[in-house]
Chain A
C-alpha cells in the first residue's frame, strides 16, 4: 500500500477514525499495530511472517541479553544479528551471491548454474531489520532498557508510517512515546496534513510528473545520450531521488503528527552540503547515523590511526552502498563515496584552516562542486549496467556532442526544477523547516497548500512506486 494510492487514503481515514475514538491508550496502540500488519500484508500477505520473525526474535533475544552476561549475552546478540541479517541476506542478496559464486567458479573452470532465481524482495526488509536489530544492539551495549510491553515493542518494529522506507527509528526515541504516561503527546492534524501535502507534492508532481520521464528517457537510451543529455538526465535523477525519498519521509512524519507521534527528519537540505561529510549528515540521516553508531564507531571510528580510520570509512560506505541493493554498482557507489570522504578528510587536514576557503564565494563554490560530484555518483546508483554507467559518465566528463535525445522543453523543465531545488536548499541550509513553515501567515499557508493540492490533482503522471521501496 503506497502513500500515493487511493486505497491508502481510505485506509488512513479508517485508522485515524479509530485512533480518535475515546478508547484506552492500549486499545489505540493495538489498533495501530493491527493497522500496521494490514498495511504490510496488503502488499504480499505471506511476508508478514518475516516481520513477525524479526519482532519475535529481537523481543526474545533482547530480554535474554538483559539478564545474561559474558558469553551467553553475546550468543543472544548473535542470534538477533544472524536472524535479521540471515533474512536480509537470503531475500535481498541470495541471487546476487549465487550469481557471483557461479562467476567465481567459472574463473577456475568449474561450470555451475543454480537455475533462475525467483526470490521476491520483501518490502521494507532492509529498514525494519535494521530498526529491530538496533534495539538488541542498544540493549547489549546498555544504552536501552528492555521494553516491558510486547505490544509497544511490536509497534516500534512495525509502525506503518515508517515501516517500509523509514525514517529508521531508534527504540529510545520511539518507545518513550508509546508509554502510557508520555506527557508530550499532541495530535497535530493541521501541521500533519500540511506535511502529507508537501510530501505528496514532491512525489507526485516533482519526482513523478516533471523529472522521472526525463530520467527514464536518458537512462533507457543511455548508449545514445550525449553530454548534455547525460547531465540533464542525471541532474533530473538527483532531483527525482530527493523528491521521491524526501517526499516519502515527509509524508511519514506527517502521518506520525496526525497520530500524535514525533518522527525524525530524514533529510536536511542535502544539496546545500559543503563537502561529502556534510552531505551524509543531511542525506538519509537515519541510515547514516545507524551506520555511524552500529558500524563505524564499533569499528573504532576515527579514534585509531589515520589509515585505520580511512579503512573504517571505506568499509562503512561499502556496506552502506550494498545496503541499497544487490549489485556491484551500488557497492561501487558506496566505494566512491568512501573515497570522497577519505579525500575530503585529507584535504581538510591540509587546507581546512585556509582563509581562502572561509568566504561566501568559496563556500558557494565548494557547495556547487560538492553537488556536481554528488550528481556524478548518482550515475552509478541509477544506471542499468556498468557499461551504461561508463558511457554516461564518459559523456558527462567529456561533454560529448551529438544528436540530443532530450528536447529543449525537457531541458528547461529540468533546469527550472533543479534551480528551484538548489535555491530552496541553499535558503534552508541553516534554517529549521518546521519553524519556517510555522512562521507563515495563515492566508499564505492556505494559498501554498491550495496550489500544491491543485498541482497534485491536475498532475496527469502515471502512478509510480517510491524508489526506496526497492531497497
Chain B
C-alpha cells in the first residue's frame, strides 16, 4: 500500500468522462427533483433556527437610531408582518423574538451592545416573560444563540449569509422537503407530502396554516402547554426580575434607545389562565410602575381585537397584515 497519492497521469481522460457523466446525472436529477417538489407545492423555505436569528441580529450592528428590534416569543413573531410594519412606520424592523422565550437575555444583549441605538418593542407573554424557566435564571436556549452571535467571525457570518441565500433559491434545500421526510411521508400516507403548516420567511416572520396542523390546536391545549412548561414567579422573585428589567431599560435609555413594552391579545381559556396565574395588578401594573418605557396593552386598544386564530394566543396567519397595520398605527400614535 502506498503511503501517499501517486503522480500517475495515465487516467486523465477516464476521469474527464466520469465527471461529465456525474455532472449530467446530478443536474438532471436535481432539476427533476426540484420540479417535482414545486409541483407538489413546496417552495424555498427557511428554518427558524440559530443562523436565521443571528442573521437578523447582525442587522443591528450599525448605530442606526431609526432601527426597531422586536423581542419576545412566538406571539409577536406570528403577529407582525415585518416588511409591512417597516413600510408603515418607515423604519427598518428586525425580528429577534424566539419561540417560547422570555426575551430578557436578548434585551440584555442589546442593552450591552454600544452600537445599538434604536427602538425596542418588547412583547410580554405572561407564561414566558413571568416564568422562572425562561427567565434570566434559565437562559440556556437564548443564551446559546446570543453566545454564538457574539463569537461569530466575519467569515462564519459570510458563510451563514451564503447558505441562507442558497436556501432561498431551492425548494429541495428546505427542511420540510428533505428527502428523508418525503420518503417517510410517502410510506406513512401513500401520498407525496405537501409543504408543512409553518412558513418561515427570511425576515423571521412566521405564518401558520391552521388547516394543515397535524393536530388541532385548542385554547385548552395552549394552556396545558403553558402549565407544563412554566413555574410562575412568587412576588419576591418577580421583584428581582422587575429590577433586572428596569436596569436594562435604564441602560437602553441612557444610550438614547426607546422601549415599547407590549401585551398582545389573547382570549378565551388562554386569557383566563394568564389573568389567574399572572394577575394584572401584580405583574403588568408593577411592570408599568417600575420600568421606564412606553406601554401598550391590547385591552386599551379595541382595534387589536378580532385577529386571533382559534388557539386564542396567536394572530391568524391570514389576518397578520391587518393586525400589523393596526399595530403600526398604534406605534405611530405613541410617538414612533
A contact residues vs B (CB 8 Å cutoff): 1, 5-7, 42-44, 173, 184-186, 188-191, 193-195, 253, 256-257, 262-265, 268, 285, 430-434, 438, 442-443, 445-447, 449-450, 453-454, 457-458, 460, 463
Contact = CB atoms under 8 A, between A and B. Distances in A.
B159 A268 contact: no
Top 7 closest A-B pairs, CB basis? A190-B15, A446-B21, A460-B178, A42-B155, A450-B25, A449-B22, A445-B18
Contacts of A263: 4-5
B213 interface: no
Contacts of A450: 21-22, 25-26, 29
A438 B11 CA distance: 8
B39 to A, nearest CB: 17
Nearest to A409: B184
Nearest to B151: A120
Nearest to B30: A457
B19 A193 contact: yes
B19 A7 contact: no
A452 B134 CA distance: 43
A6 B166 contact: yes
A463 B14 CA distance: 33
A262 B7 contact: yes
A460 B8 CA distance: 36
Given A6-B162, A6-B166, A262 B4 contact: yes
B1 A431 contact: yes
Contacts of A457: 26, 30, 172
Interface string B135-174: 0000000000000000001110011001100100000110
Given A43-B155, A431-B1, A460-B180, A453 B21 contact: no
Contacts of B30: 454, 457
A31 B214 CA distance: 56
B15 A194 contact: yes
A262 to B, nearest CB: 5
A186 B7 CA distance: 6
A453 B22 contact: yes
Contacts of A445: 14-15, 18
Contacts of A185: 7
B21 A443 contact: yes
Contacts of B16: 190
A442 B159 contact: no
Contact of A430 (B1, B4, B159): B1
A442 B21 contact: yes
Given A190-B19, A262-B7, A454-B30, A7 B158 contact: yes
Nearest to A268: B1
B289 interface: no
Given A44-B153, A194-B15, A454-B29, A446 B20 contact: yes
Contacts of A5: 159
B9 A446 contact: no
Nearest to B5: A262
Interface string B168-198: 0000110100111100000000000000000
A418 B260 CA distance: 55
A257 B12 CA distance: 13
A432 B2 contact: yes
12 contacts: A44-B153, A191-B15, A431-B1, A433-B1, A438-B8, A445-B15, A446-B20, A446-B25, A453-B22, A454-B25, A454-B30, A460-B175
